[in-house]
Amino acid sequence: MADTAAKRETDTVGTDELTQKVKRARVDDENGDDGVEKDPESENILSEFKTSAVLSDSAREKTIFIHGKLGDQEAVVILEKTPIREDTLAELFTGSKLKLEMKNDIYSTYQLLAPAKFNEIKTTVVCPATEKHVKKYQRQESSLVEETGEDYKSITLPYIQKQSFSVQWVHNILDKKAETERIVFEDPDPDVGFLLLPDFKWDQKQVDDLYLIAIVNQRDIKSLRDLTSEHLPLLQNIFQKGKEAILQRYSLAASKLRVYLHYQPSYYHLHVHFTKLGYQAPGCGVERAHLLADVIQNLQSDPEYYKTRTLYFPLRAEDGLLGQFKEAGRL
Q: Which amino acid belongs to residue 149?
A: G
Report the C-alpha gap between 294 and 283 in whole angstroms: 17
Residue of 67, 133, 271, 290 with catalytic role: 271
Q: Pick out the residues of the known binding site for substrate.
A: 169, 179, 199, 201, 262-273
The β-bridge relationship of strands 211-216 and 185-187 is unpaired
Taking the CA atoms of 34, 39, 42 and 43 in sequence, report the sign of the dihedral they define: negative
67 is catalytic: no
- How many Å apart are CA 270 and CA 214, to the nearest integer? 9
Q: Which long-range contacts (CB under 8 A, 24 or more apart) does 16-22 make?
A: 18/45, 18/70, 18/71, 18/73, 18/127, 18/128, 19/127, 21/45, 22/70, 22/125, 22/127
Supply angle C-alpha 222, 143, 62, rounded to 5: 85
69, 50 Cβ separation under 8 angstroms: yes
The secondary structure of residue 156, as a DSSP letter, is I
The residues carrying an active-site annotation are 271
